[in-house]
Structures are given as C-alpha cells and as structure tokens.
Amino acid sequence: MANLKEVKERINSVVSTQQITKAMKMVAAAKLRRAQDKITQMRPYSQKLTTILNNVSAASEGQADIVFAEKREVKHVLVVAVTSDKGLCGAFNTNVLKAASHAIANDFAGLNVTVLPLGKKAYEFFKKREQNVIADYYQVFSDVSFDNVKFAAEFAMNAFVDGTFDKVVLVYNQFKNVATQEVMTEQFLPMASEELENGAKKSETDYILEPSRAYIIEELVPTSLKIQFYKAILESNASEHGARMTAMDKATENAGELLKELRLMYNRTRQAAITNEILEIVAGANALGGK
C-alpha cells in the first residue's frame, strides 16, 4: 500500500490537473460561441451564393467557359487536410488524419498526391510520413479570417487552372453540435457539374445580368469557391472548440472520480498507519509491563 506522502502528492497533482481542465473547458466554451455564430451566419450566405451560381451557370450556353469546372484525366491530386494547431480535443484531429490517409491510400492509390495541410497537426503528421507537403499555409488558424484564408484557396484554385493538379479534395470536420462533428471528404475542384445541372432544373428564376452573363460567371465563380473554402475552415474551427470543450468536460469528470478514489485511499492509509502506531504502543506497554 502506498504511503501517505505518495497519496497526498497524487491528490495534489490531480487537483491541479482538474483546475486546468476546468479552465480549458471554459475557454473552449467562450471560443465555441463565437465560432458557432460565424458558421451559422456563413451557411445561409454560402448556400444562397451557390444557388445563384448554379442557376446562372446552368442557364448559360454551356459550362465549358468555366475553367474551374474543367474535367480531365486525374493524375495529380491535392488533398487539403484541415486540423487544429493544438491537441487536447479528443479524436478531432485523428479522425481527419485517418480519413485523409485512407483517401490517399485507397481512393487515390497510384496517383501523384500532394497534401496541403491547414493546421499544425496535419503538417506534422504528413511531414513525418514523408508525404509531399505544401507548408506555406498550415498556420492559417493563427488568424481565422476570410482575408487570411483566401490565400490558401487561391493557391488551390490557381494550381488547378494551370494544370498542376487535376483534382482538389477537402477533408475537414463539419460542425453538427457541441458533442458531434462529422468528417467530410468533399471535392473542391473541379466543380461538380451535376450540382449545376440539378440547380438549373429546379430553378425558374430569370436574372437580368449586367454587363454580361459571361462576366458575372467569371466574377462569381472564384468568389463562390473562396466562400466554400472559407466555410470549411469555419466548420473545422467550430468543431475544434466543440470537441475540446467536450474532451475537457470529460477529463474534469474523470479527475473528480479519481480524486474520490485517492481520498478514500488516503483515509484508509492514514487509518492503517494510526492503527499500526496504536498496536506498537500497546505491544511496547505490554512488554514493559511483563518485565
């Protein structure tokens, strides 16, 4: 049985850990509220912009003029893996890294795959595995703003247009609620023509376009893609804080359970030590009395 000093040191250590997890939970909750507000405000805008783009594009003479919808033989793939910069958020990062690794090993087997990590955890993971990595944008979460995120989106878009990559895929966590995040593997480029066609069939909106339909499409498509990219970042950011809040809440509960066991052990150890001392005193007194 452990002595009193060891048990007391463990109790103090668990108490300190519990205080840290409580503080981290509160910080994550505050950040989650802001991140959740951003993504809930972004979703309607993103959906409406996509709908307008679908309607305008499908009503045009053809989609051949949209360079971002060009389909070609896939030889080079860019996988955009979105994780966090820090850990202590449960399986948040692990799920994305597993999904990205699975896609590379199975869906894109035999192809030339490059990873664009967004988040320090993704960068370290793929760098350690000697995967082709573009390390220019992994610190994007130091400033989660559209002006900062658009540089990574523009890189992926330009690389697709100039033929460096034939396909661009996003792998990220979609925010459902505080306790639930769903890993998404979405095709970013080329744009899904099926969605454009479906949008056109359901739309009866007649747009008056100035200066021209071609000009509007040329301006609207890049903006829509950047918004879609930024939305994925916001989804991941909200998911991260939700996962960390849940993980720290569970850690705090576990620390509380461990404290109960340790305090019970401390009391039992202390009682045993007192009992032993009393027995020693009694045995010593009996020995002296026997003389």
Q: Which residues contact 89 (CB under 8 A, 6 or more apart)?
A: 240, 243, 244, 247
Q: Tell me if 191 is assigned to some domain.
A: yes
Nearest to 269 by CA among 12, 3, 11: 3
**Given this model, what pLDDT does residue 200 score?**
46
Q: Tell me if 202 is assigned to some domain.
A: yes
State the average pLDDT over residues 208-234: 84
Q: Tell me if 287 is assigned to some domain.
A: no
* Rounded percentage of the chain residues whose pLDDT exceeds 90: 64
Average per-residue pLDDT in the chain?
87
Q: Which residues are catalytic?
A: 89
**Residue 180 zone, left/alpha/beta (φ > 0; ψ -120 to 50; rest):** beta
Residue range of the domain that includes 11: 4-24+250-280
Q: 133 and 115 in contact (C-beta within 8 Å)? A: yes
Cβ neighbour number for residue 277 with a 10 Å cutoff = 10
C-alpha to C-alpha distance for 204 and 207, rounded to whole angstroms: 10
pLDDT in tens, 165-179: 999 999 999 999 988
**Given this model, what pLDDT does residue 196 score?**
46
Give the containing element (helix H, strand E) for 252. helix 213-290
**Band of the pLDDT at 93, cuts 50, 70, 90?**
very high
Pull the structure tokens for residue 75: 């030889």
Can you give the CATH number for the domain in which 70 is found? 3.40.1380.10
Q: Tell me if 291 is assigned to some domain.
A: no
**Given this model, what pLDDT does residue 283 score?**
84
